[in-house]
Amino acid sequence: MSNVDERNKVELVKSLLKAIHEGAKPEELSTRFRELLSEVSPVEIVLIEQQLVREGVPVGDILRLCDLHVQLFRDYLASRELSGVPRGHPLDLLLRENEVISKLSEVLGLYASAILGSSKAEREVFEQLRKVLHELRSVRLHYRKVQMLIFPYLERRGVVAVPRVLWGREDQVLVKVRGAVQLANEAADENSIREVARKALEISRELAELVFRENKVLFPAVWVLFSEGEWAAIAEVAREFGYLVPDDVGWVPSAKPVMPYELPPKIDMEKVEKLPPEFKQLALAKLEPDTCGVKKEGDLELSTGFLKPEEFEAIVSSLPLEITYADENDRVRFYSKSKLVKGFARSKTILGRRLFFCHPPRLEAMVRNVVERLKGGEVEYREYWTKQGDRILRVLVVPVRGRDGGYLGTLEIVEDLTEVIRNPEEVLKKVLVL
């Protein structure tokens, strides 16, 4: 429980505002108010600021507090729950992303409060709010990394409840952001602007709560639980996703990457006592260790997973397209037949055949030219549209390159897009935004 009552918290924030107005720098205030501010959560700060806006304090003055809050919360975490996180470590980058999200949510709440607290919504303030909402669409990148990179390691240990609860809350906020952006783009009168502001205020509070839960519960817990090898794997994959902040300091792990499926399916009970109590209560209530072994005997070991040859063949035949692959010598090595659509007629007799000879003589020169341009890197791919009977087909010809960028072969992809072309309105009706 906090030792600072509600009235004192409001007065504390007011004193900060006064000091900033008088020219005090954030680092000076950080020293003077650190102990007191440690009693006020970021969620409470947002609510207090919104109250001050309603009391008539200018939004511009309160906006000056944002950088101070980020600095104070960073210092607070570093001195307690998350000491020793190296610069450039994936957890460091996730924490810094939360600083961006925290600041955006705080600013969003202030603009929303200003609109709702005035007798007439100012268009300029609304445009600022709309701009922040558009910026918030980028926070999906942060939560995707948490969901795809952090949660699998917890689930492997049998910690299922925490990821499911957090993902549900994150998804809820992202859906609200998407809806608010659309509503803001369409807002044309006073009532619709105020409706956007009400939704924005709700989003602001929920984002602040998410940041608080991650920084005070989830991240301290995984900092205790995860090995350096796990963080090495997370860092490697996270770079493919990208960050909301500059990844300008390369963290170099001393352990080789460890994927979730390579972990023993258990939680290290020696580390349990070091976990945040909120995490421990929810995580250990019902542990469900994941004993699934991903790699099986006879599997093809691919860079993105493991498959039995028959699984690979069945998967390819289940795709709504057909492919033909020719190697670097332009000899056909593989083709697929789809159960869902029909492309061009092919049979096993084309295996080993020159790719160019699989086309009519009138098209041979064109195919040769395309393949040579793909090999030379002149074009990334070529696209063609054609007809077969009453069906409309799209043909993509793409180069296949190895990890080193070297040319391995040519892939021809055939898709039946008849329904998309002839009935676009019917297709649009089927679109479901997930």
CATH number of 6-281: 1.20.120.520
Instruction: Write a three-state SS string for the chain.
Output: CCCCCHHHHHHHHHHHHHHHHCCCCHHHHHHHHHHHHCCCCHHHHHHHHHHHHHCCCCHHHHHCHHHHHHHHHHHHHHHCCCCCCCCCCHHHHHHHHHHHHHHHHHHHHHHHHHHHCCCCCCHHHHHHHHHHHHHHHHHHHHHHHHHHHHHHHHHHCCCCHHHHHHHHHHHHHHHHHHHHHHHHHHCCCHHHHHHHHHHHHHHHHHHHHHHHHHHHHHHHHHHHHCCHHHHHHHHHHHHHHCCCCCCCCCCCCCCCCCCHHHCCCCCCHHHHHHCCHHHHHHHCCCCCCCCCCCCCCCCEEECCEEECHHHHHHHHHCCCCEEEEEECCCEEEEECCCCCCCCCCCCHHHCCCEHHHHCCHHHHHHHHHHHHHHHCCCCCCEEEEEEECCEEEEEEEEEEECCCCCEEEEEEEEEECHHHHHCHHHHHHCCCCC
Q: What is the mean pLDDT of residues 176-197?
A: 92
Residues of the chain with CATH 3.30.450.20: 302-429
pLDDT range class, residue 1, cuts 50, 70, 90:
very low
Q: Chain centroid to CA 329: how far?
A: 40
pLDDT range class, residue 46, cuts 50, 70, 90:
low
Cα 219 to Cα 4, 43, 83, 84, 215, distances in angstroms: 26, 17, 11, 13, 5
Residue carrying the six token digits 């507090």: 65
Given a cut of 70, is residue 259 above it in pLDDT?
Answer: yes
Q: What is the mean pLDDT of residues 116-127?
A: 81
What average pLDDT does the chain have? 85
Given a cut of 90, is residue 161 above it in pLDDT?
Answer: no
Q: Which CATH number fits domain 302-429: 2.30.30.100, 3.30.450.20, 3.40.47.10, 3.30.160.250?
A: 3.30.450.20
Higher-pLDDT residue of 164 and 3 is 164
Higher-pLDDT residue of 290 and 34 is 290
Query: Strand 322-327 vs strand 305-307: parallel, antiparallel, or unpaired?
Result: unpaired
Given a cut of 70, is residue 40 above it in pLDDT?
Answer: no
Q: Residue 333 has what pLDDT?
A: 95
Cα 315 to Cα 55, 309, 396, distances in angstroms: 62, 10, 20
Instruction: Write a three-state SS string for 5-70.
Output: CHHHHHHHHHHHHHHHHCCCCHHHHHHHHHHHHCCCCHHHHHHHHHHHHHCCCCHHHHHCHHHHHH
What single-letter amino acid sits at 407?
Y
The tens digit of pLDDT for each residue in 271-322 reads 777 777 777 766 666 667 787 888 888 898 888 899 999 999 999 999 999 9
pLDDT range class, residue 409, cuts 50, 70, 90:
very high
Higher-pLDDT residue of 106 and 228 is 228
State if pTM tops 0.85: no
Residues of the chain with CATH 1.20.120.520: 6-281
Which region among 289-298, 399-408, 419-428 has the lowest average model confidence (pLDDT)?
Answer: 289-298
Given a cut of 70, is residue 252 above it in pLDDT?
Answer: yes
Q: Residue 92 has what pLDDT?
A: 95
Which region among 95-99, 275-279, 381-385 has the lowest average model confidence (pLDDT)?
Answer: 275-279
Q: Residue 23 has what pLDDT?
A: 72
Which region among 142-151, 236-245, 257-266, 425-434 has the lowest average model confidence (pLDDT)?
Answer: 425-434
Cα 150 to Cα 26, 144, 224, 293, distances in angstroms: 33, 10, 13, 19
Which region among 72-76, 135-139, 149-153, 390-394 has the lowest average model confidence (pLDDT)?
Answer: 72-76
Which region among 41-45, 127-131, 154-158, 301-305 has the lowest average model confidence (pLDDT)?
Answer: 41-45
